[in-house]
Amino acid sequence: QNVNNKDMISMLFKEQEKNGELTDYDIRSEFWIIYAAGQETTAVMLSMALYELCRNPQFLKGLSDDYHNIYKKCDKLTTEVIQKMDFTEAFLKETLRLYPLVPSLFMREALSD
């Protein structure tokens, strides 16, 4: 295998070629972990954030303030810019707290109280 890509799976294949410690099974397992972890999580989180905005329109002012006072004054979006958007970060974290993504992938039910 001649792998020159920089994606995660290609990197795992390179590692396998280099030292042989990873088996094909290991690489398949890593792929499924990555796939399951990213399965529509962004879309679900953004949908729930929009739902919360509809239920609580007063939060739109804080998000708008972050946009106009921080993001709009920058040439490009960077990690530093995002870290300055405190209200947006708090809003998204609260959305994730109210609607956690992982439990929706693996629904469980208590067998007893």
pLDDT, one tens digit per residue, over 28-47 is 888 888 777 776 778 888 99
Residue 96 and residue 113: Cα distance in Å, rounded? 26
pLDDT at 110 over 70: yes
What is the predicted pLDDT for the residue at 58? 96
pLDDT, one tens digit per residue, over 79-108 is 889 899 999 999 999 999 998 876 655 566
In order, the DSSP letters of 69-100 are HTGGGSSS--HHHHHH-HHHHHHHHHHHHHS-
